Structure 1
Amino acid sequence: MPFPKAVLETSTTGLTDNYDAFILLSNTFSSQFYSDLSGAIQLHQRLDKRVGEQAVLIPNQSVPGNRVIHVPSGALDRDYDDVRQIFDAAKNVAQTLIDSGIRKPLLEVNLHGLNAPMQATYVNAIEAAFLGLCQGLWQPLEARQALGENEVEPLQELGILHSDPDFDVSRLNAIEAGKRVARDLCGTEPERMAPPGFADYCLEAFKDSNVEVSVISDHEAILKDYPLLHAVARASIEVERHRPRIIRMVYQGEGEINKTLLFAGKGITFDTGGADLKVNGHMAGMSRDKGGAAGVAGFMKTVSLLAPKGLKVIVEIGAVRNSIGAEAFIPDEIITSHAGIRVRVGNTDAEGRMLLADLLSHLREDAKDAVNPELFSVATLTGHAAIAFGPYTALVENKPARALGVAKSLFEQGELCADPVEPSLSRREDFNFVKPRTKADDVLSSNNAPSVTTVRGHQFPMAFLSIASGLDQHEANSTLPLPYTHVDIAGSGVENLDWQHGKPTAAPVNVFVNTYL
């Protein structure tokens, strides 16, 4: 799993032959380490007016490789600027590095003239630059397998020039390793990453690690213990290579456990819409409907590498293909969930919340005996989240989670690590929206209209998930309140909201890493 591993360099001594180029990402022309560079860049600006406006390759005898790429960050002090300026600048220079034949660059991030509040905004600037560059360099698993990993991703190492000898580059590498797992799982085509392939990738990613991985493949067992999930998978059972998988991962840190995180991940490896078939081209890109499961697997990869003490993490992923066929589940069916809740199907294209409800129900059982548990569902769930918030991850929390400040903490850290989120609220209207219309059922999964045309289209699914999973029995006024936050990455999961061709972003791996690790 190649990516340019970060290596810390604290001085320029002896680096001339170690690297083949110097990257200066800055809001000025000056370097902390190469004092003559500012004048040289300004001199070149007289010849090339692109200097200071976009990344430019400049010959210079004083830096490794005798060439510097000056990467301007752009303005940093406007009200709406944040560390994504750094992330994007680094991401956008990735192809320039490859095209220039650069294979082992040295990077300095040097920001000037920022007041104290602005300095706090960019406290993770080096992390953002490294992760942005890696985002720009990543190529799909299919390309790496067909053409050779070193051919399509030729950069193998990246020097980080930093004056602090205690700067932790191993953390950067661990975060990128997790994000790469998430991108691979999300971005790989639907046959190669059908449920069995998804499970196999996870088993390989955590082989001989400190994470215990188990897989349920028997569909009779899935029918018994995950009945809503099995209903979604029903039409895929007859095709062996499409059969569902339940993937459970457990990490237990050393020492006394003081926090438990529990994640349910939506892994729809392809979403036809089921009986409510996606038409007019809307099925394209639906192999990325597994982005939520990919994200929680990626987070677990970083957990495994950083090995935090005192933390326990439990992940349950439902890898399912929502196929169409004679066995497909249909609207108006009533199916009893793992929690014993009778669910009336409103629309088969609202399949993700069905499998999440059963996963959450199992995690609810884990949470009852856990130390300081926090539960999350992570999913590419609704187009409404993308319409409401654009490229931001949507959070909808219950009252115990709100009292704990879960969304507030994620928001604050997301602003600092280029993985931003937008908190939303769960309201009484959401619970009224899914209440039963007759005594034949206990909850309605959805209405029969697209979420983008439904009022509160990304909020009400959290109400359904709470009821169908039994988490509504653990509200703030219960004897055992359980904090639960629903995480919708439909707007943030791929670049530019291009679900067919955009690169997966690995949201929300980094915001969870920076909040909890």
Structure 2
Amino acid sequence: MTPINKQVNKAISAFQVPIIDVSSDEAIFEGEGEGWDAVVVVATSLADIKQDEISLLAAHASQIDKRVGKSATLLFAPGLAGGRLIISPVVDSENEYCDVRIFAKAAREGIAIAKAAGATKPLLVVPAVSDKRFANAEQVAALACGQELWQPLEAREANSLSPSLEAIGLLNTAIHSVLINAAEAGRVLARDLCGTEPERMSAIGFAQYCVDAFADSGLAVSVIDQVELLTTQYPLLSAVGRSSFGVERHHPRVVKLEYVGEGTICKTLFFAGKGVIYDTGGADIKVAGSMAGMSRDKGGAAAVAGLMKALSILKPKGIKVVAELGLVRNSIGSDAFVTDEIIASHAGVRVRIGNTDAEGRLVLADLLSHLRIQAQTSVNPQLFSVATLTGHVVRAYGGYPALVENSAAKRQDVAESLAEVGELWGEPFEVSRLRNEDFDKVADKNGAADVVSSNNGPSSITARGHQYPAAFLIKASGLGDTTLAFTHIDIAGSAVEGDPLYGKPTASPLVALLQFLKLSK
């Protein structure tokens, strides 16, 4: 494989804006500490601010500018770091339907003002609050700054961009910045992989970017690139990419990643990531402009890769994490797979193709089949698939990802536990229930095949359009013949923020999964 960029790992860490713990209030003053040049306060009210100097300035300013404490405002503050004080209020904190993301919103507004004002080393101040909903407000606010400051890989490469800030200080935090910086390193990788255009981040480019990003990480990394191995070991994935085999630069790849923590392994987690580099819809071609943005159909694989990056830095003990990323282009051409074909999965399940635009579940089924085999001899295994899978999940839940679990995972409260963690870390989920009707929906009614991949209509107008694909995955991967816990995560609504076609990738649900792994031992 030809290296695309041998400096990827360095580039990711160099572009990341580091978070630095700051223990002394003296850092808020001009000329003190590490040369901080702005103070950004993210608070639910001016009364929450503990530093007298900041509190007095803010209170005085609020008497002459009614915006202070109500909207993000830059104040001239002689004597404070850089002479800049930015008060970015957390709005609606008493609303019981709000969650910790209100701190993320305020932090992004504040750091954007600091950047626009010319600051390069702002100091972030997030006063603690007693409400348990906001227990992780400091971490969530700091991570939100990373989301705000990230710039696309194409722009960084084309314009030789450097990070917009040198560092962000986190004042008087009761936490340690190692976790935040590790999570953000993973999110930078995930955003790069998800958000970059389909030629720069082809399956080959995506795979090489991962190889470079995990150099010297301690993770086991391998790439399947031989056509014969792909077609025999990943037959459904290869069917999706069949038309792409005629174009060498579009050939599929499978990336395998493995993290093994020190000490006795108490739990093993397996992740299958959907990495459809570009989804034309295949023979069931996307029409009326709906092909735009389909280079982001690799968000699941990107998030899983980012999760593994964070693990490689944090090195939690006692867990093993195995991931397979299926990277393929759903191309149009004379050799494209078509609806009505019957193709045997890696698990030997005969799949009737219902719609070539329902390609992601085919990729995941083969990955899960390989992971299933490993899981059956592993310690306390749990399996997950992560994918931008359906339009229906966006129709049903908007920007929230869905968790759909099998009965074994439900007995272990996997979805409920993950949803609880996500709520506290600013990546909330909706929990969907898998039902018998979902399995009926994927049954091949004439018996020629064991299972049908989908109906022939858009998922967004199909009843239970994001739930029944989990039933297909269970059947086609062979998981239905086991007692293994499996949870499907559909991130079609959360992988990108704002503009669904060209908005900034979020790396969702990397942070929630990272915290879940820490708690799952």
Asked if TM exceeds 0.5, the reply is yes
Q: Distance in 1 between matches of 2:19 and 2:343?
A: 50
Pairwise CA distance, 1:99: 1.3
Pairwise CA distance, 1:30: 4.5
Q: Distance in 2 between matches of 1:68 and 1:275?
A: 57
Q: Does 1:470 align with 2:478?
A: yes
Aligned partner of residue 228 in structure 1, secondary structure = helix
Which amino acid in 2 is paired with 1:220?
Answer: E
Pairwise CA distance, 1:259: 0.5
Matched with 1:195 is 203
Q: Distance in 1 between matches of 2:134 and 2:268?
A: 30
Q: Distance in 2 between matches of 1:56 and 1:243?
A: 51
Gaps of 5+ in 1: 475-480
- Range 1-10 or range 188-197, more displaced: 1-10
Which amino acid in 2 is paired with 1:451?
Answer: S
State whether residues 40 and 114 of structure 2, in contact with CA within 8 Å, keep that contact through their aligned partners in structure 1: no
Aligned partner of residue 175 in structure 1, secondary structure = helix
Q: Does 1:279 align with 2:279?
A: no
1:222-279 residue CA offsets vs partner (Å, 9 max, x unmatched): 0010000000000111111110000000011111100001000000000000000000
Q: Distance in 2 between matches of 1:414 and 1:424?
A: 15
Aligned partner of residue 426 in structure 1, secondary structure = coil
State whether residues 301 and 386 of structure 2, in contact with CA within 8 Å, keep that contact through their aligned partners in structure 1: yes
Give runs of aligned pairs for residues 94-133 of structure 1, distance below 5 A: 94-111=111-128, 114=130, 119-133=131-145
1:45 aligned to which of 34, 38, 62: 62
State whether residues 138 and 173 of structure 2, in contact with CA within 8 Å, keep that contact through their aligned partners in structure 1: no
Q: Distance in 1 between matches of 2:511 and 2:392?
A: 23
Q: In structure 2, do the counterparts of structure 1 residues 45 and 399 end up closer, same or farther at CA, with 3 Å as the change threshold? A: same
Matched with 1:495 is 497
Matched with 1:413 is 421
Q: Does 1:5 align with 2:26?
A: no
Which amino acid in 1 is paired with 2:134?
Answer: Y
Q: Does 1:159 align with 2:201?
A: no
Pairwise CA distance, 1:429: 0.4
Pairwise CA distance, 1:515: 1.2
- Range 499-508 or range 220-229, more displaced: 499-508
Q: Distance in 2 between matches of 1:120 and 1:33?
A: 19
Matched with 2:7 is none
State whether residues 286 and 499 of structure 1, in contact with CA within 8 Å, keep that contact through their aligned partners in structure 2: no
Matched with 2:6 is none
Matched with 1:67 is 84
Matched with 1:384 is 392
Give runs of aligned pairs for residues 162-241 of structure 1, distance below 5 A: 162=172, 164=174, 167-241=175-249
Pairwise CA distance, 1:32: 5.0
Pairwise CA distance, 1:149: 3.0
Q: In structure 2, do the counterparts of structure 1 residues 163 and 155 end up closer, same or farther at CA, with 3 Å as the change threshold? A: closer
Aligned partner of residue 203 in structure 1, secondary structure = helix
Which amino acid in 2 is paired with 1:436?
Answer: D
Matched with 2:153 is 141
- Range 7-16 or range 441-450, more displaced: 7-16
Pairwise CA distance, 1:111: 4.6
Q: Distance in 1 between matches of 2:151 and 2:295?
A: 16
State whether residues 26 and 109 of structure 1, in contact with CA within 8 Å, keep that contact through their aligned partners in structure 2: yes
Pairwise CA distance, 1:108: 0.6
State whether residues 31 and 37 of structure 1, in contact with CA within 8 Å, keep that contact through their aligned partners in structure 2: no
Aligned partner of residue 110 in structure 1, secondary structure = coil
Aligned partner of residue 96 in structure 2, secondary structure = coil
Which amino acid in 1 is paired with 2:164?
Answer: P
Gaps of 5+ in 2: 1-11
Aligned length: 501
Aligned partner of residue 102 in structure 2, secondary structure = helix
Q: Does 1:510 align with 2:508?
A: no
Q: In structure 2, do the counterparts of structure 1 residues 87 and 163 end up closer, same or farther at CA, with 3 Å as the change threshold? A: closer
* Identical positions, percent: 50
- Range 50-59 or range 235-244, more displaced: 50-59
State whether residues 88 and 109 of structure 2, in contact with CA within 8 Å, keep that contact through their aligned partners in structure 1: no
1:292 aligned to which of 286, 295, 300: 300
Q: Distance in 1 between matches of 2:154 and 2:94?
A: 41
State whether residues 236 and 322 of structure 1, in contact with CA within 8 Å, keep that contact through their aligned partners in structure 2: yes
Give runs of aligned pairs for residues 310-349 of structure 1, distance below 5 A: 310-349=318-357
Q: Distance in 2 between matches of 1:55 and 1:384?
A: 36
Q: Distance in 2 between matches of 1:141 and 1:163?
A: 31
Displaced runs of 4 or more, over 6 A: none
Which amino acid in 2 is paired with 1:199?
Answer: A
Q: Does 1:261 align with 2:269?
A: yes
Q: Distance in 2 between matches of 1:42 and 1:33?
A: 13
State whether residues 29 and 37 of structure 1, in contact with CA within 8 Å, keep that contact through their aligned partners in structure 2: no
Q: Distance in 2 between matches of 1:509 and 1:339?
A: 29
Q: Distance in 2 between matches of 1:198 and 1:14?
A: 42
Q: In structure 2, do the counterparts of structure 1 residues 93 and 148 end up closer, same or farther at CA, with 3 Å as the change threshold? A: farther
State whether residues 25 and 172 of structure 2, in contact with CA within 8 Å, keep that contact through their aligned partners in structure 1: no
Q: Distance in 1 between matches of 2:47 and 2:24?
A: 16
Pairwise CA distance, 1:97: 2.1
1:116-166 residue CA offsets vs partner (Å, 9 max, x unmatched): xxx21111001110111111111111111111231xx321211110154xx
Q: Distance in 2 between matches of 1:22 and 1:325?
A: 56
Q: Does 1:80 align with 2:97?
A: yes
Q: Distance in 1 between matches of 2:512 and 2:332?
A: 36
Q: Distance in 2 between matches of 1:95 and 1:58?
A: 14
Q: Distance in 1 between matches of 2:466 and 2:294?
A: 18
Q: Does 1:401 align with 2:409?
A: yes
Aligned partner of residue 278 in structure 2, secondary structure = strand
Matched with 1:477 is none
Aligned partner of residue 93 in structure 1, secondary structure = helix
Aligned partner of residue 407 in structure 1, secondary structure = helix
Aligned partner of residue 52 in structure 2, secondary structure = coil
Matched with 1:366 is 374
State whether residues 47 and 55 of structure 2, in contact with CA within 8 Å, keep that contact through their aligned partners in structure 1: yes
1:354 aligned to which of 343, 350, 362: 362
State whether residues 131 and 176 of structure 1, in contact with CA within 8 Å, keep that contact through their aligned partners in structure 2: yes
Pairwise CA distance, 1:31: 6.3
Pairwise CA distance, 1:499: 2.5
Pairwise CA distance, 1:203: 0.5
Pairwise CA distance, 1:92: 2.8
Pairwise CA distance, 1:454: 0.4
Which amino acid in 2 is paired with 1:71?
Answer: S
Which amino acid in 1 is paired with 2:474?
Answer: S
Which amino acid in 2 is paired with 1:161?
Answer: L
- Range 343-352 or range 204-213, more displaced: 204-213
State whether residues 212 and 251 of structure 1, in contact with CA within 8 Å, keep that contact through their aligned partners in structure 2: yes
Q: Distance in 2 between matches of 1:3 and 1:90?
A: 17
- Range 376-385 or range 36-45, more displaced: 36-45
Q: Distance in 1 between matches of 2:414 and 2:347?
A: 25
State whether residues 21 and 173 of structure 2, in contact with CA within 8 Å, keep that contact through their aligned partners in structure 1: no
Q: Does 1:483 align with 2:489?
A: no
